[in-house]
Amino acid sequence: MFAHRSYTRRAGAPALAAALLLAAQCASAQQVVLTSSRSLDFGRFVARTGGTITVSPTGARSSTGAVILLNSPNAGAAVFNVRKSNSGAANKAVVITLPGNGATRLSSGANNMPLSAFVSSPATILMVPNGGVTLSLGATLTVTANQPRGTYSGSVPVIVNFQ
Q: How far apart (Å, rounded) are the C-alpha atoms in residues 143 and 111?
A: 11
Which one among 51, 104, 125, 142 touches another protein, defined by CB under 8 A? 104
Degrees, nearest 5: CA angle 101-137-52: 50
| Pattern 62-101, another protein, x by CB under 8 A | --------xxx-----xxx-x---------x----x----
Please, what is the minimum distance in Å from the beta carbon of residue 102 to another protein?
A: 14
Q: How far apart (Å, rounded) are the C-alpha atoms in residues 15 and 12?
A: 5
Which one among 120, 125, 142, 156 touches another protein, defined by CB under 8 A? 156
| Pattern 117-136, another protein, x by CB under 8 A | --------------------
Q: Please answer whether residues 141 and 53 qualify as being in contact, where contact means their C-beta atoms are separated by less than 8 angstroms.
A: yes
8 binds another protein (CB under 8 A): no
- CA pseudo-torsion sign 48, 50, 54, 55: positive
Degrees, nearest 5: CA angle 131-136-141: 165
Task: Count other Cβ atoms within 10 Å, centred on residue 13.
Answer: 9
43 binds another protein (CB under 8 A): yes
SS3 106: strand
Interface with another protein by CB under 8 A: which residues? 3, 6-7, 10-11, 14, 17-18, 21-22, 25-26, 29-36, 38-48, 53, 70-72, 78-80, 82, 92, 97, 104, 106, 108, 113, 115, 137, 139, 141, 143, 147-162
